[in-house]
A and B are shown apart, each in its own frame.
Chain A
Amino acid sequence: AQSVTQLGSHVSVSEGALVLLRCNYSSSVPPYLFWYVQYPNQGLQLLLKYTSAATLVKGINGFEAEFKKSETSFHLTKPSAHMSDAAEYFCAVSDQEDTGGFKTIFGAGTRLFVKA
């Protein structure tokens, strides 16, 4: 069964600094990897998705993630943090089941704080 680990429950950066949120998945390569963002009192918004078409995936709001099979990682980055990036970020792995459906497993989440 797939699993996903997010390193660091809290990350704090200064405005304008690099954002790096770490995510590692279990050893078997999943069909899909996602990053979602959750702002306070809201649902999950898709940031980006990996589907094996390209190892570097660009998402919304200036975020991107690189799939590294050798490291079983899918870390999320943004060159310059903005105050509006403060939120909870979830890495997720989706695998196809024998029934043809999909099951998604979520990491524990990383809360990003942005200091002025």
Chain B
Amino acid sequence: GQQLNQSPQSMFIQEGEDVSMNCTSSSIFNTWLWYKQDPGEGPVLLIALYKAGELTSNGRLTAQFGITRKDSFLNISASIPSDVGIYFCAGPTNAGNNRKLIWGLGTSLAVNP
């Protein structure tokens, strides 16, 4: 079945550093979604990508839809302590009218002030 592989699994960085993480799949996706989960809360949508090659920003966050449609990247510039959390990628299955999202296992980010 379709799976999403996120890497790295976890990161521990210094405040001010840039962060890069990615999500790969063995099959093609038509949509890539990036979510962030703060401790003790539900995931919140950061960026949605709908077109191969698309590059979209949301403040200090930038995400790209890979040209092969099998991967996506999320970059965070100049990290700050509130960037701490788990970052998930997700994409829809292609199965039928009731498509569901497939999720990566997440990248856990810790920021040292």
Pair from one complex: no
A contact set with B: CB distance below 8 Å: none
- Which B residues form the contact surface with A (CB < 8 A)? none
